[in-house]
Structure 1
Amino acid sequence: MPLDLKKAHREFYMATNQPMIVTVPAVHYAVVRGVGESSLKNSFFKQAVMILYAVGRTLKMSYRTAHQIDGFVPYVLPPLERFWYKSQEGRSDAAGTGMLYWTLASRLPDFVTRADFDWAVQHTTEQRDMDCAYARFVTMEEGLCVQCLHIGSYAERARTIERMHHFLGANGYAFDLTEQRQHHEIYLSDARKIPPDRLRTLLRQPIRMRQKEELYEEVVCGGIRI
């Protein structure tokens, strides 16, 4: 049976609609980065989707080529993921204005090395007459995070993030969003086939323990009970 990264790393993909805290280790990704709207209405974002799928398929089918990956086992292409942050500081939700910097990503199996990835980019470019030079091999370690399954349209993500916010407040944590530690979404449903109200998206955000002063201020101001 092909390796399914979602099942092999169940704790990071099989979340429920109740917020939970996880510590995410270093993970290898194929990524394309961009600025501006991150939807298929943006031609470059659409191109990024095509590049990641094409390079991913090349790696998946590499056993049929002269390039043999050490430790290779057949695997299922994982769902697309997206990291992003806005230039406007202090945002902890999925709404608002500000320049959007996004990273579209596809998780790679641990046996895929940078050299294997570079081969796949070159091979895909040559075989499919597609410029894949925007694709990069990166390693990201998210660390301490809160995650929750959002069921519904992308436009309604804020209500799930608000629930995550209340969960953190009640447990002594706070969001820790920066340019390096970004909002993260994993698209578990195919939006081309699933109605908006049934879409399943895993939302993940970096967090930190609250300082004693922050907890004290919330109690004084009539905030959460601790």
Structure 2
Amino acid sequence: MSPLDFKKEEKRFYLPPAHPVLADVPEMNFFMVDGEGDPNEPEGAYQHAVELLYALSYAVRMGGKKRTFPVPGYREYVVPPLEGLWWGCEPEAPVSKKDFRWISMIRQPGFVTQETLAYAQKQVAMKKPHLDTEAGRLDSFREGLCVQCLHTGPYDDEPATLARMRSFMEQETLLPDMEGLRTHHEIYLSDPRKTPPERLKTILRIPVRRR
């Protein structure tokens, strides 16, 4: 059996077109880290969150693959891309990036449990003691109805793509529906350390409801 790869098996959520479309996103499980502050700050809270999420995710993947920890129902899989829920970054109400609030997260297969997370936290604490492993949590999130679009280019150029998404919403008589975790959502398909800014690919989502 080939490794589970959400990007291939659920293309409607991970490979949207470069024009706005509707998507109804079901409940998914994530490792999450809550934080605030400028995501571009070196050694800042966001960088810590990203490092922790990847460390936890790969600890689970390798632990299951090497059978060093019993994970019932384990299936080899590809670690999904980094995602982020953002507050305070709306174009109509811009604030300084240092005032951003966010949840950084990586999706987890359904067989990952709280016990699995506890195992991963112990493994990461031994290998990377500088990370606050208790900041990571496992939670589910049902995003529901959204408008999504693939943005290609620098993150700072996202407002142009968001404007096209809002025009689509007006044409389809849809309203923004920001409540709880339903907020501005980004999925990072490219590694900014290895990809030129003009080639970065990011999925943008806006939660909506019908009028």
TM-score normalized by the length of structure 1:
0.85
**Relative to 1, partners in 2 of residues 1:205 and 1:42: Cα closer, same or farther, differing over 3 Å?**
farther
- Which runs of no fewer than 5 residues in structure 2 stay unpaired? none
2:71 aligned with 1:73: no
- Which runs of no fewer than 5 residues in structure 1 stay unpaired? 211-226
Q: Say what the alpha-carbon RMSD is for the aligned residues.
A: 1.7
The answer to whether the 8 A contact 1:92-1:177 is kept is no
Query: Matches of 1:47 and 1:61 in 2, distance apart?
Result: 21
Matched to 1:100, the amino acid is F
Query: Deviation per CA, 1:178-216, whole angstroms, max 9, x where unpaired?
Result: 443111000001111111111100001100112xxxxxx
Count of residues in Structure 1 that have an aligned counterpart in Structure 2: 206
The aligned runs of 1:168-187 (5 Å cut-off) are: 168-187=169-188
Query: Matches of 1:7 and 1:144 in 2, distance apart?
Result: 21
Q: Could you say which structure has the larger radius of gyration?
A: 1
Query: Matches of 1:155 and 1:3 in 2, distance apart?
Result: 32
Indicate the SS of the match to 1:61: helix
Matched to 2:91, the amino acid is D
Aligned to 1:201: 202
Aligned to 1:113: 113
Larger CA deviation: 128-137 vs 168-177: 128-137
TM-score normalized by the length of structure 2:
0.91
Matched to 2:157, the amino acid is E
Indicate the SS of the match to 2:25: strand
Query: Deviation per CA, 1:75-121, whole angstroms, max 9, x where unpaired?
Result: 111110000112xxxx7438711632100000001111122112211
Larger CA deviation: 35-44 vs 114-123: 35-44
Query: Matches of 2:180 and 2:121 in 1, distance apart?
Result: 27
Query: Matches of 1:94 and 1:138 in 2, distance apart?
Result: 30
